Structures are given as structure tokens and as C-alpha cells.
Amino acid sequence: MFDDFDIFAAVVEQSSLNRASRQLNLSQPALSRKISKLEERLGVPLFNRFGKRLELTEVGRLAYTYALEQRQHRAKFLEAISKFKQGEPLSVTMGASLTTLQTTLPPLVNAYMEQYPAAELKLITGKTHEIVTSVREGRSEVGIIASATDEAGMRCVPLFEDRLRLVVAGHHPLAQLPRLEMEHLTGQPMVLFSKGSWYRRMTDDLFQRSGVQPDIRMEIDSFEAIIRLLPTIKAAALLPNSYLRPELLAGGGLASLHIRELEMTKRTTCMIYREPGDLSPAARSLIRVTEGVFQGGLPPVP
């Protein structure tokens, strides 16, 4: 079945009522009547007629653009219906806290898209409390956060444990010490995460409990930016061990250092979602893939 705009588009593309009528399997008089009715409904001519030759008016060009967009939307809709009938996931929105982006998402997204290449995975980022709110309000169906939550009506599934490590350039004076204590960070130039983030609250609490006052030079919401800056500004940073892959440290000439008190910074990266009855098939598929990817902890980088 062809609606009026499909018929109009066919006439434009064939540049001839005669050819379009054959393509649409309509008589030429019937086709002419449909175009005339469309023009009457819009209240403007779509074609200038020069004998058998047709030329689009300015409004006709706008109408053709609309017809193409409508055709694309219809095709996308029909494709989605077909996938739904076949039991494939359609679209799912995931929320991820900023601190989980670079450690958790790459292996998860790769695994999900490999298993469901036609699925559409949308991503919302924010701080941990923003992602919890996003899932609670239904803007995200699944969330990945850097700590556990006991939010009512929400499932919280532990994925892997993590803790902070002190990171400096390999030639930094702290890297030469045989044993490090928290006291060594007093007055030490440091790059920290921005205030309000889960990691920043954790480091501030650690400094307060240890009586340490570092020299905070920069506040940045990017692991990658911090890693790149450390050798240049001769500063130290506290970063999650899950991010500190050996190849990353070696490539940047960096050292990951242990301080006993950093064991207290252990936290659990978790997946959150609302009660299963509220989940779409696509969200359930994403949850299954996520549980499989992180079974046994954080997977290695391929």
C-alpha cells in the first residue's frame, strides 16, 4: 500500500507520471488524481507542469525531503518490529558513572555488540548519584556505578572489587623510597578527581582520617588526562587499580605504588537495575551479558 507521499516521491524519482504509474501499478489517471488531491490537501502546487514535463516547486522540494524522511522512519520502524518478532533486543539505555567509563565499559560494550550487533545501545554518563537517579526514574534501564547502593526497588549486583593506588612518574622521588606511608603525601603536589565524584569523596575521607594535607594542583574528571599530566607537572595521583594496566603504566613511564592505608579504599563496582518486572527484553539481554563478562572479576584487555 502506498500513501500519498510515497506516490509523490515515486513521481519525483521517475520524473514522469507514465513511468511512475508503471512502477506503482496504478493507471496514469488514478496517479494524477492522487497527486492533485495531495496538492489540494496542502493548498499549494507541488509541480510546475510544462506539457508532459514536471518540475518541482519550492514547496515540492520541501515535500520530497519530507517524503524521504518518512520513508526512512517507516523502514526503521518496520526493521524494529521484525527484530522484536524474532526476539532480538531493540534498544537499551545504560547509565555509567564517570569513574567506571574507562575500566568497565570497553569490555562490556564489545561483548554486547558482538552478541547483538543489530541492537542500539545508548549511554548516559554522570556521577554515581546521578546514575542511581537515572535508573530509578527510568531514564536508564541499567546502570554501572563505582559503589554499592541499597536503593529501594532496585537490584544491585556486584561486578568486581577495586582499590586505589598511588601513581607517579617512574623518576619521581616517591618512586625511589623503599616504603611509603600516608605521611609522605603531606605537601605533595597531587592531581585529584573533581569534587562531588565518588573517588574524590573517598580520597578526601582518606586524607582526613590520615591527617594528610596534599598540595592539590589540579582537579580533573578523566583518568586519561591525569595519566598524561603526571610526568609533566611532577605530581602524584590516586587512581583505581582496575585502570592501571601494565601496558598503560609502561607506555607512560609511570609507577604504581602501594601504601598500606590504601587497602581501606576498597570498593565494589556494581550493576544496578529496577525490579525485573520493569525491564525490557533488551535490558534483560544487557544484564545477562554484563554478568557473563564480569564473572570472576574484571576481564583482561584483549
154-202 pLDDT, tens digit per residue, is 999 999 888 899 999 999 999 999 999 999 999 999 999 888 777 888 8
* Residues 4-11, mean pLDDT to the nearest whole number: 86
Residue 82 clears pLDDT 70, i.e. is over it: no
Listed residue (57, 150, 58, 133) closest to 95, CA to CA: 133
Separation between Cα atoms, residue 205 and residue 25, nearest integer Å: 75
- Given a cut of 50, whether residue 288 has pLDDT beyond it is yes
Cα separation, 144 vs 290, whole angstroms: 10
Query: What CA–CA distance (Å, rounded) separates 199 from 239?
Result: 9
Question: What domains, with CATH codes, occur in the chain?
Answer: 4-85 (1.10.10.10), 91-161+267-293 (3.40.190.10), 164-265 (3.40.190.290)
The string of pLDDT tens digits covering residues 24-66 is 888 888 888 888 899 999 999 998 888 777 889 999 899 999 9
In angstroms, rounded to a whole number, what is the distance separating the alpha carbons of residues 63 and 30? 20
Cell of 270: 556494581
What pLDDT is attached to residue 302? 41
User: What is this structure's pTM?
Assistant: 0.62
**Could you tell me which residue, 301 or 134, shows the higher pLDDT?**
134
Sorted by sequence, the CB contacts under 8 Å of residue 12 that are 6+ apart come out as: 56, 60, 64, 67
Pick the more confident residue, 236 or 199: 236
Per-residue pLDDT at 294: 87
